[in-house]
Structure 1
C-alpha cells in the first residue's frame, strides 16, 4: 500500500471523486444499525474506547447518531451515512502494495471504492496504528478525504502509531 502526502484539496483526484456533501440530520432518537467487529484483544478494545470518547459530534456536516447495538467500538453520523468501526482485524487489502492510500493529519488511510452491490461509496481504513479503524461513507456523502480531518485528529490523539496485534 502506498501512502501519499498530498494537500487535502488534491485528494479529489482519481482515487476519490468529488461528490457533493449533503448536510443531513438524523431524526431525533433514531439509531444506526452498526455491527461491532469481532471482540478485539483487550489492549485494542481499550484504545477503541479512548477513541470513542474523542470522536467529533459532527463529520462532514452530519450529526452523530446513536448506534444499535451500543458499543465503544462503533459510531455513526447522519444515520448510517458515515459509520466507524474500531478494532477490526487487519484487512487483507493492506498487503497489496498497489492499494491507494493517503495521509491525513499524520494518520495513514487505505482507500477503497465500494462496489455498487455493497451500496457504493468508500471505505477508509487506518494503517500503521495499534488498532485498525474502518470508516464507511455512503455514495451520497463521499467527498474528498477532507471529511477525515476530525476523525484523524481523534485517532492521532488516542491510537498510537504502530502495528495492531489483531
Structure 2
C-alpha cells in the first residue's frame, strides 16, 4: 500500500511544477464606474477560454484572468494602444465586437498577439501566446464578446 502513495506524491509535485504557479496580472488603477464595469466583466468571464482551463492569478483581485499554460491573459481597464487610430486601423470582428491587432502581430502567425477591444470603455485586452495560433486568438475573442457587450460601453465601432 505504500508504493502507490510514494508514486502519487512525485506525480502531484510534477504536475504542480508544470503549472508555473500564479500568473501575474497587472491591474490599472481604476475607480468608479470603470472599476465596477471591469469587476462585472471579470465575474462573467467563461469557465474556459479557447479550450484552456483557468489559472490562478496574482493579485487575486486583479481585473482580469488567465487561462492555459502558457497563459492567455485577459485584462480590463487598459489604455487604448498607442498605435491604434480609429480612422485608419482595421479590426477583427468576432460576434459583433471589434478587436484591434497591431499589423506586425497580425502578419507574423508565430508571434504572440495582443487583441484590444479598443472601441469599448473600459478597454479590454487579450494577450495570446504564439503557440495558440492560428485558432486560439479567434476562439478567445469570440468567447469574450457576449460579456464585453453586456458589461462595457460601446463608444465607437472598431471594424
Indicate the TM-score class for this superposition, using the shorter chain for normalisation: 0.7 to 0.9
SS in structure 1 at match of 2:140: helix
Number of the residue aligned with 1:132:
123
Correspondence for 1:92 among 56, 76, 82? 82
Q: Shift in Å at residue 135 of structure 1?
A: 0.4
Partners of 2:25 and 2:62 within 8 A in 1: no
Number of the residue aligned with 2:9:
none
C-alpha distance in structure 2 between counterparts of 1:90 and 1:139, whole Å: 22
Partners of 1:33 and 1:80 within 8 A in 2: no
Higher relative contact order, structure no. (Cα contacts within 8 Å, ≥ 6 residues apart): 1
TM-score normalised per structure 2: 0.73
Please tell me whether Structure 1 or Structure 2 has the larger radius of gyration of its CA atoms: 2
2:52 paired with 1:59: no
Misfit runs of 4+, over 6 Å:
none
TM-score normalised per structure 1: 0.70
SS in structure 2 at match of 1:52: helix
Number of the residue aligned with 1:82:
72
2:139 paired with 1:146: yes
Structure with the largest fraction of strand: 1
C-alpha distance in structure 1 between counterparts of 2:86 and 2:148, whole Å: 23
Structure with the largest fraction of helix: 2
Partners of 1:32 and 1:80 within 8 A in 2: no
C-alpha distance in structure 2 between counterparts of 1:129 and 1:69, whole Å: 24
Aligned length: 135
Partners of 2:19 and 2:69 within 8 A in 1: no
Number of the residue aligned with 1:33:
24
SS in structure 2 at match of 1:94: coil
Q: Shift in Å at residue 27 of structure 1?
A: 5.6
